[in-house]
Amino acid sequence: MVKRSAFALGFLAIWSIAEGIIYALLKWKLFKDTDIAESISQFFPLSSMSNLIKEPFSRLGAVQSAASQLGEAFDKDYSVQPLNVIIVLVWTTLFIYWSYLLLKRRDL
């Protein structure tokens, strides 16, 4: 959608900041003492993609062996939830469809 790669990276940074601001506003103004803001934020595009792989570095063998030498153990659940996969598939489908409409409109 954005022609130059630097603009695309800048757009991703701005989008990430915007998602953080929206989440903070939801948590601060609308849903103060509930987890509704976190439930809503899982549907944001960047948040949904980051929910697929949580803490990827703690799965590395070197990190786990270093932790076991220090006497620590990782008891994390690394399974992927079906809802997270569905959300990402919906965003992927929308992105591909919008890209197709943009290319069709430009008549390349």
**Helix residue ranges per DSSP H, 26-81:** 36-41, 45-50, 61-69
The answer to pTM > 0.85 is no
Q: Is 68 exposed, middle or buried (0-12, 13-18, 19+ CB in 10 A)?
A: exposed
Q: Residue 22 corresponds to which tokens in the numbers above? A: 């929206």
- Give the helix/strand (H/E) hosting 19: helix 5-25
Number of residues assigned to the chain: 108
Res 93: pLDDT: 96
Per residue in 28-83, pLDDT (tens digit) is 878 777 788 888 888 898 888 888 887 766 666 666 677 677 777 666 666 788 99
Per residue in 33-48, pLDDT (tens digit) is 778 888 888 889 888 8
Longest alpha-carbon distance in the chain: 61
